[in-house]
Structure 1
Amino acid sequence: MKNILIIGCGLLGSSVLRSIHKNKLADKVYIYEKSKKNISRIKNLKLPGTVVSSLKEAVTKSNFIIFCTPMSEYKNIIMKINNYISPNTLITDVGSSKIESSKIIKKFLKKGIAWTSSHPIAGSEVSGPQHGKSNMFEGRWCILIKEKNTIKKNLNFLKKFWEKIGSKVTIMSPEKHDKIFSITSHLPHLIAYNLVKSAQDFEKKQSYDLIKYSAGGLRDFSRIAASNEIMWRDIFFNNNKNISNAIDLFIKNLKSFKSDINSKNNKSIINKLIETKKVRSKIIKLKQDINKPDFGRS
């Protein structure tokens, strides 16, 4: 691999950058970042890449481009690079929803240019290049998106790329991807935002200083709810249909819990609690987490 361009160098972009450097996967890495604050941080951190002010310069010199921006930026960037990009250049991204972004790509990207989407299942509630890690993707899943016109050679290239920086790779259609992550990622984040908002509303209504008494539950939800608001707005808007269906299912189950509580239906609620505990065991068995109690940070 010769030259790589990373567009957007926040948490994920800087982690990709660090991983490429660590594993010696490129001759040169260019960084295009529009945030002056992030550019300053990148330079102060002495990250292993060349910051460019011109997309033209970086695009014409790159064989592989990775979009690490919020999905709402895709159209504008595509329109800027169309005049400079070569048919020999492969583009991928790290976005968390795929159906709507695929429509944008097909509509605005110059014909004859290959874009095969990726979704590394990694990240954190923090944002910015100062939080990036060279081992961010090690042992994590990365989903590659296969569509009707996807070129097998490009899938194989991306599979090798993500595996070289430590990811476990699987391939899905955009439809399957967006349905799965509406439940496993998008709904949990939405619930976290809503739970923290509910705590804020309760605090205002009751005039209680309740946040300082945050138990483990609210504390852990508040961590998730501290995630980047632009990124999550884009995910909610881009995967709105699947997330709406997930919300409906959540409301149905919440009403069932409410009914059990109000009627003191011991058998029903105990069965629910026992069954849902099994998911935790399965997550640990699949090595998605470790079997150690979390009593909060010291």
Structure 2
Amino acid sequence: MKNILIVGCGLLGSSILRRIHKKKITNKIFIYEKSISNISKIKKLKLPGIIVKKLEEGVRKSDLIILCTPMSEYKNIILKMNEHLSKKIIITDIGSSKIETSKIIKKFLRKDIVWIQGHPISGSEVSGPENGKHDIFENKWCVLIKDKDTKKKHLTMLSNFWNKMGSKITIMTAEKHDKIFSITSHLPHLIAYNLVKSAQDFEKIQNYDLIKYSAGGLRDFSRIAASNEIMWRDIFFNNKQNISKAIDLFIKNLNSFKKDINSKNDKSILYKLIQTKKVRSKIIKLKQDVSKPDFGRS
């Protein structure tokens, strides 16, 4: 791939930009960014890449296009790109839900254009190009979506790209992806938002200044709840069916805990606590986190 266009240069877009440059993956990197603030930051940071004022300018010059925008922008971007796309081009994205975006792609993208959906499992609660890191994808999973029309050669090309970025590749369907991440990512974020909102509501009702007494639990949930609101609105709406089922399961288990607490069911609650505790050990064993106490904070 000679030239790459990054559409949207926030946290992950700028991290992709930094990594491509560091690993010398391509000849030229083009950047299309709508935010005047982000453009100013990119220039101030002297990030590598050529900023294009018009989307079509970058599209015509590129072999690979990577969408790093909120998923609610996909339709408009596709409609702007369509007439300028070469048949040899490959498009991918980094969106966190896939079924609904698959429908948008199939409905609006030109039928002779290849789009393979991607999802690098990386990120942070902070946003903006100033927070990007070149090593954010190192040894992290990147999911590539395969459907009945996906050709092996295109999947291989994109797999090779993400391997060069430092990622480990796994391939699955959009349906499987959205079911998995409704539990591992989407529900935890929703719980974090709801827990922080509950703390705010409790503070108002009781008239207590409780936030300054935030223990580790609320503190860590507040970090997750500080994530980009537009991105997470899009994820919740795009994966609503799977997230709704995950919420139902969570409520069922929460009610079970409530029942054990009210009845002081020692045996039942201890079993639950011991079994769920094992997940942390498994996460560390799979090298998804470090074993240092307090998430490795110094």
**Structure 2 length normalisation: TM-score?**
0.99
Equivalent residue, structure 2, for 1:52 = 52
1:22 aligns with 2:22: yes
Aligned-partner Cα distance in 1 for 2:70–2:56: 21
* 8 Å Cα contact 2:290/2:296 also seen in 1: no
DSSP-derived class of the 1:29 partner: strand
Structure 1 residue 83: Cα displacement: 1.0
1:83 aligns with 2:83: yes
Equivalent residue, structure 2, for 1:239 = 239
DSSP-derived class of the 1:294 partner: helix
- Aligned pairs for 1:202-281 (under 5 A) are 202-281=202-281
Equivalent residue, structure 1, for 2:107 = 107
* 8 Å Cα contact 1:216/1:296 also seen in 2: no
Aligned-partner Cα distance in 2 for 1:139–1:210: 39
1:139 aligns with 2:139: yes
Deviations 1:233-258 (A, max 9, x none): 00000000000000000000000000
* 8 Å Cα contact 1:216/1:295 also seen in 2: no
Aligned-partner Cα distance in 1 for 2:286–2:61: 41
DSSP-derived class of the 1:119 partner: strand
* 8 Å Cα contact 2:260/2:269 also seen in 1: yes
Equivalent residue, structure 2, for 1:6 = 6
- Residue identity over aligned pairs, in percent, reads 75
- Root mean square deviation of aligned Cα: 0.9
Amino acid at match of 1:32: Y
Aligned-partner Cα distance in 2 for 1:295–1:23: 29
What are structure 2's unaligned runs of at least 5 residues? none
Aligned-partner Cα distance in 2 for 1:291–1:137: 20
DSSP-derived class of the 1:256 partner: helix
Deviations 1:142-195 (A, max 9, x none): 000000001111110111100111000000000000000000000000000000
Structure 1 residue 56: Cα displacement: 1.5
Deviations 1:57-109 (A, max 9, x none): 11110000000000000000000001101110000000000000000000000
Equivalent residue, structure 1, for 2:161 = 161
* 8 Å Cα contact 1:11/1:127 also seen in 2: yes
What are structure 1's unaligned runs of at least 5 residues? none
Structure 1 residue 140: Cα displacement: 0.3
**Structure 1 length normalisation: TM-score?**
0.99
- Aligned pairs for 1:179-218 (under 5 A) are 179-218=179-218
Deviations 1:124-150 (A, max 9, x none): 000000000000100100000000001
Structure 1 residue 296: Cα displacement: 8.3
Aligned-partner Cα distance in 2 for 1:190–1:70: 17
* 8 Å Cα contact 1:118/1:143 also seen in 2: yes
DSSP-derived class of the 2:287 partner: coil
DSSP-derived class of the 2:294 partner: coil
DSSP-derived class of the 1:82 partner: helix
Extract structure 1 runs of 4+ deviating beyond 3 A. 295-298
